[in-house]
Structure 1
Amino acid sequence: MSVTLDIKLKRANKVYHEGTPVIKKVIYVINLLTETVAGVVTLCCKEPLQHNGIALSMDGIVNLQLSSKSVGVFEAFYNSVKPIPLISSSIEAAKAGKIPGGKTEIPFEFPLISKGNKVLYETYHGVFVNIQVGLDVSLSANYTLRCDLKRPLLAKDLSRSCEFIVHSQPQKSKIVPTPVKFSITPETLQNVRERGQLPHFLIRGHLDATSCVISQPLTGEVQVDKSDVPIKSIELQLVRVETCGCAEGYARDATEIQNIQIAEGDVGHGLPIPVHMVFPRLFTCPTLETTNFKVEFEINVVVILQDDHLITENFPLKLCRV
Structure 2
Amino acid sequence: MSTSLSINLKRASKVYHEGETIAGVVVVDSSSEARHEGLALQLEGCVSLQFSTKNQGILDAFSNNIRPINLISSAIELAAAGRVPGGSTAIPFELPLTPRRPAGASAAPALLETYHGVFVNVMYTLKATMKRSFLNKPLVASCQFFVQYRPQAPPPAKPVRCEITPATLRPGGGARALMPSFHIYAEIDSTVCALDKPITGLIRVDECSVPIKSIELQLVRVETCGAAEGYSRDATEIQNIQVGAGDVRRGRPLPLHMVLPRLFTCPTTATHNFKIEFELNIAVIFEDDYLVTENFPILLLRSR
| Candidates 85, 88, 93, aligned match of 1:100 | 85
1:223-257 Cα shifts (integer Å, max 9, x gaps): 11111111111111111111122334322111111
1:46-69 Cα shifts (integer Å, max 9, x gaps): 211211111100011111146998
2:248 paired with 1:267: yes
Q: Secondary structure of the residue that 1:178 maps to in structure 2?
A: coil
272-281 vs 59-68, which moves further: 59-68
2:179 paired with 1:203: no
Q: Percent identity?
A: 54
Question: C-alpha distance in 1, partners of 2:281/2:127?
Answer: 39
2:51 paired with 1:61: no
Question: C-alpha distance in 1, partners of 2:152/2:271?
Answer: 17
Question: Which amino acid counterpart does residue 125 of structure 2 have in structure 1?
Answer: T
Contact 2:213 2:246 in 1 (8 A): yes
Quote the residue 2:110 is aligned against.
119
Question: C-alpha distance in 2, partners of 1:306/1:43?
Answer: 61
2:88 paired with 1:88: no
Question: Alpha-carbon deviation of 1:74?
Answer: 2.2
Paired positions, count = 294
2:16 paired with 1:5: no
Question: C-alpha distance in 2, partners of 1:65/1:94?
Answer: 38
Question: C-alpha distance in 2, partners of 1:286/1:182?
Answer: 25
Question: Alpha-carbon deviation of 1:157?
Answer: 1.8
Q: Gapped runs of 5+ residues in structure 2?
A: none
Question: Alpha-carbon deviation of 1:318?
Answer: 0.4
Contact 1:285 1:319 in 2 (8 A): yes
Question: Alpha-carbon deviation of 1:203?
Answer: 1.2
Question: Alpha-carbon deviation of 1:78?
Answer: 4.1
Question: C-alpha distance in 2, partners of 1:154/1:249?
Answer: 47
Question: Alpha-carbon deviation of 1:156?
Answer: 2.7
Contact 2:51 2:232 in 1 (8 A): no
RMSD of the alignment, in Å?
Answer: 2.0
**Could you tell me the TM-score, scaled by structure 1's length?**
0.86
Contact 2:72 2:99 in 1 (8 A): yes
Question: C-alpha distance in 2, partners of 1:190/1:297?
Answer: 22
Question: Which amino acid counterpart does residue 62 of structure 1 have in structure 2?
Answer: V
**Could you tell me the TM-score, scaled by structure 2's length?**
0.91
Deviating above 4 A after TM superposition, structure 1's stretches of 4 or more consecutive aligned residues are: 66-70
Question: Alpha-carbon deviation of 1:103?
Answer: 1.2
Quote the residue 1:212 is aligned against.
193
Question: Which amino acid counterpart does residue 17 of structure 1 have in structure 2?
Answer: H
Q: Secondary structure of the residue that 1:285 maps to in structure 2?
A: coil
Q: Gapped runs of 5+ residues in structure 1?
A: 19-33, 128-137
Quote the residue 2:228 is aligned against.
247
1:64-102 Cα shifts (integer Å, max 9, x gaps): 1469988x9324x643x2211111100111111111111
Quote the residue 2:95 is aligned against.
110
Q: Secondary structure of the residue that 1:74 maps to in structure 2?
A: helix
